[in-house]
Amino acid sequence: MLTYSDEQIHRSLKYRENYVVSYIMKKYLPMIKYMSKELKGDDEDAEDLFQEALIIIIKKIDLDELTLTAKFSTYLYAICKNLLEFKLRRRAVEIKYLMRQAEPIADENFSENYDEKYQYKMYKHYFSKLGESCQKILNMYWLDTPIKEIAEAVGSTEGYVRKRKYECKEKLIELLMLNPDNINSD
């Protein structure tokens, strides 16, 4: 495999030369997948993080804000690790929130039934606030439709679908977190 220096990678990303993105993926994605697994993430998390990190790096390059003081791989790794840690913290908050919502109040059967109905009502309410494309992507994803099929259905690339799925899911979580107890106040 051909190798590129950090300067060549920087320049190639600046001028959107696709071959360098392929090179970066082949060379560094396995490292990011390994890190993701070590921190209790998965391959899909790693791919999402990798794409987000590349977007961050490209934006910094475009704004002339990227000055590498370490190797490119170290910088990429650090961004991915920070993104993953943030994502895992957010997941922990979600789980904690859902567990709090499921705690019994008085009558356990009544409470469970009420909580489930209320959570479904909240989910449905905020899900309807998402755009049509977000709803379609998330519905297909939750039905275990392969990313490739979702991409074909929405007429886009797999990378875009992964990024969009992540953004849509984050938006839904944000809506739920901002207003967890009252669906009528937004």
CB proximity list for 7: less than 8 A, separation 6 or greater? none
The percent of residues above 70 in pLDDT, for the chain, comes to 84
User: How large is the average pLDDT for residues 157-171?
Assistant: 89
| Domain contains 186 | no
The pLDDT of residue 31 is 92
The pLDDT of residue 185 is 47
What predicted TM-score, i.e. pTM, was given to this entire model?
Answer: 0.52
| Domain contains 159 | yes
Tens-place pLDDT, residues 66-119: 888 889 999 999 999 988 888 888 877 777 777 766 555 444 555 566 566 677
| Domain contains 97 | no
Q: Which two tokens stand for residue 139?
A: 């519905």
Q: Is residue 10 a contact partner of residue 61, using CB atoms and an 8 Å limit? A: yes
Q: How many CA within 13 A on the CB side of residue 166?
A: 19
The pLDDT of residue 57 is 92
- Between CA 21 and CA 26 the distance in angstroms is 9
| Coil vs helix vs strand at 83 | helix
Q: How far are the Cα atoms of 19, 103, 148, 165 from residue 54, in angstroms, in the given order?
A: 14, 41, 21, 17
Task: Judge if 13 and 69 occupy the same domain.
Answer: yes
- Listed as own residue / partner, the contacts of 119-122 with beta carbons closer than 8 Å and 24 or more positions apart are 121/183, 122/176, 122/180, 122/183
Q: What are phi and psi of 26, to 5 degrees?
A: -65, -40
Q: What is the CATH number of the domain that holds 143?
A: 1.10.10.10
- Between CA 28 and CA 75 the distance in angstroms is 11
- Between CA 134 and CA 162 the distance in angstroms is 11
Tens-place pLDDT, residues 54-65: 999 999 999 988
User: How large is the average pLDDT for residues 166-184?
Assistant: 75
Residues comprising the chain, all counted: 186
Task: Judge if 80 and 114 occupy the same domain.
Answer: no
- Judged against a pLDDT cut of 80, whether residue 131 lies above it is answered with yes
Task: Judge if 12 and 80 occupy the same domain.
Answer: yes
User: How large is the average pLDDT for residues 20-30?
Assistant: 91
Task: Judge if 78 and 136 occupy the same domain.
Answer: no
Residue 118 structural domain: 107-178
User: How large is the average pLDDT for residues 29-54?
Assistant: 87
